[in-house]
Each structure stands twice: as C-alpha cells, then as structure tokens.
Structure 1
Amino acid sequence: MKKEHIEEIHYIRAFAFLAVVLQHSIGHYIFVPEAHLADGVAFTFLLLISKFAVPMFIFITGLVLFYNYDGRLNYWTFMKKRFSDIIVPYLFWSFIYLLIQNHMDVLSAINRFGEVFLTGKASYHLWYVIMIIQLYITFPISRFIIMQAKRWIRTPLAVYTAFSILGIVYILLMTYPIHVTAARWNIPLITPILTKYADRNALNFFYYFALGALAGLTITHWRAWLSRHAGWIYSLFIVMSGIMAYRTISSFGLLPALKTEYSQLLLLRPVTALFLISSVFATYLFCMRVSNIANSPTRRVVTFISHYSYGAYLVHAFVLGLSYWLPDYFSSSINVTLRTIIAFVIASFLSVMLTYVLSKLPMGHIMTGLRRVQSKTPKSNSTSATM
C-alpha cells in the first residue's frame, strides 16, 4: 500500500536549510569591530529562531527512516543509495574546499584529503554530514532497539514515561559529559571520538533521532498530539527562548569595551538541549500548520528549496564567502545586522540556484546527490532521507 505523502517535511527541510545559512551568516559578522550592542542583541534572537536547524534535520532523518523502512531492510541497497546520494557529494565538496584552502594546489589537497574526509574538517559545516552518516550506518542497530522497545511501549502513558526517562538521560549526558571521563582514559580512537570530535558524534544527538523515530512510527497520532497540545508547546518554546536570550545577553561584557559571546547557545549544553527539544515540537507544529494553509506558489518555492537543500547545504559555505562582498561594500551606510541579513538572502538564493544548475549537468549527481529528471518541476519525495 502506498504511504501517505508527508507534506510538512518539505517545509521543515527548507526552513532548516535557511536557518543554517542564517547561523553561518551571523558567524561571519558576529565579532566585526563595528558591531554594537544592538547588533549583539539582534544576533541573539536571530540565533534563537534558527537554532532548530540541526535538531530538526536529525529528527526528520529518524522520521523518514522509520516511516519508510518499517518492513524488511536490505542493508546493502540501503547503504548503496546513501553512498551515492550523500557520501559521494560530500567527498566531492570536501575536495573542493581543500583545493580552496590550499590555493588550488591539487597535490596538497590530495595529501590532506585522507586526513580530513573522515572528520568533516574540510570546511566548518561538514561536521554534520559525518554525524548523519553514522546514523545511516548504525540504522539496523537503532531500528532493532526501537522496534523491540515498541513491543513494550504501547500506551500513551508508557510513551510519555519512556521519552521522559530518555530525555533525562540525554540531559544528564550534557550535564556530566562522557568526554571528561574519556579524556582520562586516553584510549586510541575512542577518546578522540568522545572528546575532540564530540560535536560530530551521533550519540550526542540521539534524542532528536529517537523523537523522529516516534513520529515516523506513529505519524497520525504524532500530528494529533501536537495539535492537541499546541498551546503548551508554543508556550514552552517561548519561555525557553526567553531563558536562553537572558542567559546569552547577560553574558555580554560592556566595559572597557563591548564583548559579546554566545557559548550559552552551543548545541551540547544541558539548558540548550532543553531549548532545542522544545524547538523540535514547536517547529514541527508550525510547519505542519503552514503546509495546511500555504497557497500553490508558496508550496512550489518551498518544495524547490527542499529538493535542492542537501546540495545547497554542501555548497553554501563557498557561496557565503562571495555573498559578503555586496553588504560589506555598503558597510559605511548600513548596520551590521542588516549586512548579515543581506548576505543571508544572497547566499540562500545563490546556493539553491547553483545546486539546481549543477544537478542538470551530466555529472551533476556527484556534486548534488540528485539524479536528473525530465520534468521541469522537481519530483521530490517528502519522505526522502536526505537533507
């Protein structure tokens, strides 16, 4: 039987991509000398409304995997598709970024390639791909565990209890991070994974994946539950946003000179984790409702961005480097916040359009993970597991 088309995933994927570009645009302007306190406050709120990106990408990965693969899993076919659609474009762009870093010296890029392709260090944004690949590789294990747990977790009370306990465990891991103990162990390979590369260790994001699995296995009930508790969900998100804003802005230094810092918003912190969990519920609810009321032009634009989002994610760091030129040219007449927003809009548009153009080339699949289609309108499956 053909599965239901999950329309809201297009909106989640598109908005999450835009949120990533916004965060990285802010990252460029956040410490420029001409930034004022007002810019710091504006950046705080812009970061808060865009921080949902990584948790939501992980969430929808869990959702679509458990939604699509509820029957027999052919692991070879499964990983072959991920290698073709996810890993190959990642390797291609990793090499491109290495070429840029090494001033187009091919030999230097080749020599460094083996060093960085397993860690995602060819560019600042590629850590996410390394982390998400781990979820694909270990999917049969996580699938087995969750499907076994499903036999015991049958009632709403059991679901609430299980995910509350799991959430507490997750927050405790953020509070008493395992990397402290791992550093003392100093075990080859294991210690670096848990310390130096903790931000790209999939175990540090497992709760969002588990929530996605819950949604994928119970999509109708998941939607109904969100709708019933919309008021509480939005209220919790607003309260947590206020707490995070206060913690961040109160950490700013004003004397002898303005000093802004945003470590309170790092992903692997306990309070941030609470905020991000609330953002998962709020973002899904928002996208679900927007998808229900959006008109045809909006749906086409959102579907277009969603379809090309993975390739656009890979290329956006390169495009951002070019996008700063225009707003910086007018730096004497516009403030830093406005320059950030201009760079974000330019980079978002160019990243998606460049991915669209590259996907039409004979070797476009290698660069974008997308196969060429005959139709002028992208036939993007809402349950695709790519970004």
Structure 2
Amino acid sequence: MDSFYYAWVGFLSGVAATSTWEQLLDIVKLSFTGQASYHLWFMVMIIPFYFLFPLFRLTISKNRKWQVNFTVVTAAFAVNMIFVYTLSKGKIYNDDPQLGFIFNYLDRNFLFWIFYFILGGLVGLYYDHWKTFVRKTWVFSLGLLAICMYIIYAKVSRINAGVTDNPYLFSADVTAPLKPFMMVTILLLICLLFSLAEKIATRHNWPANLLSTFGKYSFGAYLIHAFALRLTNFLAISYLGVIGVFAQTVISFALCSLLSLILCIGISKNRSSAGELLVGRV
C-alpha cells in the first residue's frame, strides 16, 4: 500500500527517478520513513509501540493497585502534553540538530502519542470501570466539549474573517491534533464517542449496521482516505465555497468517509489475495 501511494504522489509531483534502481530505493526510503503520503506516517509510527510493548507492560500492570496505574497514565499525559506544547510553540523543527530526526523519520512521532497508547492499556485493564466512568460523566464531558467546540468555532470564524484565499484549508490547522488544546478535546471526544458507540451497538438498526461496517473496513478506509479526501476537498473548495467553511468541512468529512468505505467494499469483493493486500482480510 505504501508503494501505491508513493506511485500516486510521484505521479502528481511529476518528478521521476532516473533509473529503476533509484525508484526502488525511493520506495524503500518513503516506506520506512512514512513520507510516501501525508497519512502513512501512522503506519511506521506504530512500529515503535510494538518494539516497546514489553516496556509499556511494565509501566501499568493488573498486579498493581489501580491508584499506581492511574498515576502512571496521568504522568504520561503530563509528559505528552509537554512534548505537544513544545512542538506547537516551534521549539522542535526540521533543522534542529538534536530533534530534527523526528521529522525525517516519522516513526519517531510515537513520542507525541504515548499517552493514548498507555490510556488504551489502562482501559483494557479496567474496562468495566471505564464504562461506568464514561456513563456517569458523559454530561460533564459533553459540557466541556461544547466549550472546546465553541473555542474552535471562534478561531475558525476569525480565520474566515481575515483570510480571503481558501479559508477552508487555513481553517484545517485549527484542529491539528498535536496541540495541547486538541489533546484535551480529543480525550473528551474519546469518552463521548465511546458512550455513543456503546449505545448504538446494542441496537439492531441501520446506524448499528453502518458502525459495524465501518469497523470491519476501518484499516482499508484509513489507507484509502487520502485519495478520497483529495476528491472531496476539490469538491468543497471548487464548488461549495458559498456555503461557508463549516458546512464545507462537514460535507467533505461525510463524503470522504462514505467514499472510502465504498471503495474498500468494492476492492474487498475481489476475492484474490490482491483484495486482502489492499484493504485487509474482511
């Protein structure tokens, strides 16, 4: 799949290698650095988590008191917040002689996502307690999320008021995930979406079936969404500018999700190994 995106991005850039050997070297380099396409950094970023999994298992354990495990996760949140704050303030940059490697080798990005990984381990250890916590605090979480969404709305509105050239793309940076504010927003969203998904999953209706289908094809949909997003962004920018950036974003998100799912389902109908290679075994 990395090779597919490499070829796609290379075709769009119009820059070709001078030999087949150089092309192969470029494919290997782009695949292992996560730079073949904007979203493939995730594929290489999860590799360190696999290598360091034994170490992470030492940080939280079912053999310890829950207070100790909770303290570890809280400390991970604080450290992760410091990393993200430093990045958002421009303290980490490409030419930094000490930390520039983070941008050149995107698997190092795992440093900015450690908290979420450890949080997943904590939830796995105390799943029933997690469900109880989410159910009891969803109103409080919803209130905090409403405040966060208002702040996002205000920031996007200010951008739209001051930017005349493509506010749709400029506004996208507001919700970039590697910012302290967005870490809090994402955490609130995790709680609320978990609660909502749990309610939907208990029912036998079309929302539950749709959610199950998205879960079934989630890996392939993630890989192909960059291609789908290119199409929906073109639609939003070229034809939907009159409806405003908020409506553009919602429509682009919905269409991108739906198109990614449809493409994955279509590819999966190919029962050869090629279908499994592209979207995973379903």
Task: Decide: shared fold, TM above 0.5.
Answer: yes
SS in 2 for 1:229: helix
Tell me if 1:126 matches 2:43: no
Matches within 5 A, 1:296-335: 296-323=205-232, 335=243
Could you tell me which of 255, 263, 276 is aligned with 1:354? 263
Specify whether residues 158 and 105 from structure 1 end up closer, same or farther in structure 2 by C-alpha distance, changes over 3 A only: closer
CA distance in 2: counterparts of 1:339 and 1:239, whole angstroms:
22
CA distance in 1: counterparts of 2:150 and 2:249, whole angstroms:
23
SS in 2 for 1:201: helix
Contact 1:204 1:268 in 2 (8 A): yes
Greater RCO (CA < 8 Å, at least 6 residues apart): 1
Contact 2:41 2:106 in 1 (8 A): no
* TM superposition shift of 1:204: 0.6
Deviations 1:70-99 (A, max 9, x none): xxxxxxxxxxxxxxxxxxxx4343344345
Contact 1:99 1:109 in 2 (8 A): no
Deviations 1:203-248 (A, max 9, x none): 11111111111111111111112112222222222233333433x2
Contact 1:127 1:200 in 2 (8 A): no
Report the equivalent of 1:167: 77
* TM superposition shift of 1:160: 4.6
2:119 aligned partner, one-letter code? L
CA distance in 1: counterparts of 2:106 and 2:29, whole angstroms:
17
* TM superposition shift of 1:256: 8.7
Give the RMSD, CA atoms, in angstroms: 3.6
Count how many residue pairs are aligned between Structure 1 and Structure 2. 272
* TM superposition shift of 1:282: 2.2
2:26 aligned partner, one-letter code? R
Contact 1:120 1:126 in 2 (8 A): yes
Matches within 5 A, 1:133-148: 133-147=47-61
Report the equivalent of 1:234: 142
Could you tell me which of 283, 289, 295 is aligned with 2:193? 283
* TM superposition shift of 1:184: 8.9
* TM superposition shift of 1:297: 2.8
Specify whether residues 185 and 253 from structure 1 end up closer, same or farther in structure 2 by C-alpha distance, changes over 3 A only: closer
What is the TM-score when the length of structure 2 is the normalising length? Answer: 0.77
Could you tell me which of 182, 186, 195 is aligned with 2:97? 186
Specify whether residues 329 and 168 from structure 1 end up closer, same or farther in structure 2 by C-alpha distance, changes over 3 A only: closer
Deviates more, 1:99-108 or 1:265-274: 99-108
Larger helix proportion, structure 1 or 2? 2
Specify whether residues 195 and 365 from structure 1 end up closer, same or farther in structure 2 by C-alpha distance, changes over 3 A only: closer
* TM superposition shift of 1:296: 3.1
SS in 1 for 2:177: coil
Report the equivalent of 2:175: 265
CA distance in 1: counterparts of 2:45 and 2:124, whole angstroms:
20
Specify whether residues 192 and 291 from structure 1 end up closer, same or farther in structure 2 by C-alpha distance, changes over 3 A only: same
Report the equivalent of 2:12: 101
Tell me if 1:215 matches 2:123: yes
Contact 1:316 1:351 in 2 (8 A): yes
What is the TM-score when the length of structure 1 is the normalising length? Answer: 0.59
Report the equivalent of 1:40: none
* TM superposition shift of 1:171: 1.9
* TM superposition shift of 1:267: 1.9
* TM superposition shift of 1:131: 1.6
CA distance in 2: counterparts of 1:217 and 1:93, whole angstroms:
38
SS in 1 for 2:100: helix
Matches within 5 A, 1:34-73: none
CA distance in 2: counterparts of 1:132 and 1:326, whole angstroms:
32
Q: Which segments of 5 or more consecutive residues in structure 1 lack a partner in the other structure?
A: 1-89, 372-387
* TM superposition shift of 1:307: 0.8
Contact 1:252 1:258 in 2 (8 A): no
Tell me if 1:115 matches 2:115: no
* TM superposition shift of 1:284: 1.6
Specify whether residues 151 and 267 from structure 1 end up closer, same or farther in structure 2 by C-alpha distance, changes over 3 A only: same
Q: Which segments of 5 or more consecutive residues in structure 2 lack a partner in the other structure?
A: none
Specify whether residues 346 and 182 from structure 1 end up closer, same or farther in structure 2 by C-alpha distance, changes over 3 A only: closer
Specify whether residues 352 and 182 from structure 1 end up closer, same or farther in structure 2 by C-alpha distance, changes over 3 A only: closer
Report the equivalent of 1:252: 159
Matches within 5 A, 1:26-41: none
* TM superposition shift of 1:330: 5.2
